[in-house]
Amino acid sequence: MILPNVRASFGRAEAAALLGLLSEGDSRARDRLDDRLREEGFDAILDDPRTLNAALTAPASAVTPRLLFYLLVRHALLEGGIDDRTLTDYIAALLLSFGRDDRAYRVDDHHPDRFLYLVDLVAAMDTPDGRQQFLVRAHLGNFALWLTGIFPDWVTARVQRRGAPGLQYYEEMGASGYRAAAQTAIASEHGLDRVLRAAADTFPDLRVALNRVSDRYLFPTAAGSINRLLRRVSDGFDR
């Protein structure tokens, strides 16, 4: 089960790392940052545009993957007008989880079955097991967002080569999965109903925000491809 728990894992070590990067050895700058941390809290530091730049240019050992992915998602969402820290937390947790082994193809860490296609997840929803039903519905949203957000070029290439469904199909399926998952008792018990509804309501914007992360930082080498440029133009017109 994906939980929005990345932000809660940050402590003094993360704060010290970011303040050190931002102050760059300047003691007076460090004092000002310490004052800001005490007065405004750590979220003010995390939301500062300079923080993402500092984290991206820092040595690999200076910033943990959890902190870096939170920053990438948070600033991509803010750029798209989505100021929701819980939603940021959920998506960061999703990316960290799905980046391990074959977790992206399983509804939970220890689930025996692998799901390669959205239609297989839709078929698996027909189960009397409440927990399994929630996991499948939520995974439909998670898997669709993972594919369209981080691998949009792959989705587009499949459309051209094989006539496969395009981004809109994934967006609609993903939003329906999140919305259905939010309606379950399990979602309410774990406090996930609100964040899942938010993910459903903003799915296309979340996808575009994650495309920024993918295009700029994960797969920047294809920046000049015509398909990527057309996708960005289309997204601009749609919004």
Q: Tens of pLDDT along 165-190?
A: 889 999 999 999 999 999 999 999 99
Q: 163 pLDDT exceeds 80?
A: no
At 37 the pLDDT is 97
| Alpha-carbon span 183 to 124, nearest angstrom | 17
Judge if 70 and 142 occupy the same domain.
Answer: no
**Contact between 206 and 154 (Cβ < 8 Å):** no
Of 50, 66, 98, which marks where a domain is finished?
98
Residues 118 and 204 in one domain: yes
CA dist., res. 115 & res. 101, Å (int) = 14
Regarding whether 117 and 79 lie in a shared domain, the answer is no
Distance, CA of 100 to CA of 66 (rounded, Å): 13
Q: What is the pLDDT of residue 239?
A: 57
Give the per-residue pLDDT at 238.
63
Of 68, 98, 128, the residue at which a domain comes to its end is 98
Radius of gyration from C-alpha coordinates of the chain: 19
Comparison of pLDDT for 204 and 233, the residue scoring more: 204
Query: Which pLDDT score, from 0 to 100, does residue 223 have?
Result: 54
Output 232 or 198, whichever has higher pLDDT.
198
What pLDDT does 51 receive? 97
Name 19's Cβ contacts closer than 8 Å, sequence gap at least 6.
30, 33, 34, 37, 45
**What is the count of structural domains for the chain?**
2
Express each pLDDT in 2-41 by its tens digit.
999 999 999 999 999 999 999 998 999 999 999 999 999 9
- Domain limits at 223? 102-239
Question: Looking at residue 228, what is its pLDDT?
Answer: 75
Q: Convert the pLDDT of each residue in 131-145 to its tens digit.
A: 999 999 999 999 999
| Same domain? 83 vs 176 | no
Q: Are residues 18 and 78 in the same domain?
A: yes
Q: What is the share, in percent, of the chain residues with pLDDT greater than 90?
A: 79
Same structural domain for residues 51 and 135?
Answer: no
> Is residue 9 located within the same domain as residue 85?
yes
Question: Is the pLDDT reported for residue 235 higher than 80?
Answer: no
Both 131 and 94 in one domain: the answer is: no
Same domain, 90 and 137: no
Whether residues 68 and 123 share a domain: the answer is no
Quote the mean pLDDT of the chain. 93
Q: Do 110 and 200 share a domain, yes or no? A: yes
Task: Check: CB of residue 23 under 8 Å from CB of residue 33.
Answer: yes
Determine the pLDDT at residue 60: 84
Domain's final residue, options 63, 98, 133: 98
Q: Are 140 and 204 found together in one domain?
A: yes
Q: Look at residue 224 in the predicted model and tell me its pLDDT.
A: 59
